[in-house]
Amino acid sequence: MSNEKIAIELVQQQDYRFEITFGGDVPTLIADEPAPLGSGMGPSPVQLLCAAVGNCLSDSLLFALRKFKQSPEPLRTTVVAEVGRNPEGRLRVLRMDATLRLGVPASQLQHLDRVLSQFESYCTVTQSVGQSIPIGLTVLDAENVALH
């Protein structure tokens, strides 16, 4: 994916609720601000940002492990965004913390140290967002052992 342009379209449905069209066979998505601005009929922009970061990290980890023919499934990822006010008093995403959980114990995976030292640098979204927002990362195995 070099020099590729990605385009989506948002069409206002009502107030802060937008239908997002991605093109091709990708289903549309409804996004909405929570009350009191919107009605919470879909994920908020902050939730979508968390989803993008978490999905990209999960994909990168899975891809890196599969390069070594490893099966870490099922992966589970949680992303928490801290939203607060900047010095000008405006709401901003101040930091994000992602926790990736492997579906198997670390002892069942080969080349794990090498994968864990590299996979994050290949995550397009996280590396881009992380230039402006601090992103903490934890990787746990199925036995809740912290690996990264």
Select from 50, 125, 136 the least CA-distant residue to 93. Answer: 50
Over the stretch 18-75, which tens digit does the pLDDT of each residue have? 999 999 999 999 999 999 999 999 999 999 999 999 999 999 999 999 999 999 999 9
Q: How far is CA 77 from CA 20, 25, 38, in A?
A: 23, 25, 27
Q: How far is CA 60 from CA 15, 97, 113, in A?
A: 36, 16, 15
Cβ atoms within 10 A of the Cβ of 27, count?
7
What is the domain partition of the chain in residue ranges?
1-43, 45-140
Q: Report the CATH fold assignment for 45-140.
A: GMP Synthetase; Chain A, domain 3 (3.30.300)
Average pLDDT across the chain, whole number? 96
- Give the pTM: 0.93
Q: How far is CA 75 from CA 20, 36, 51, 138, in A?
A: 27, 34, 14, 13
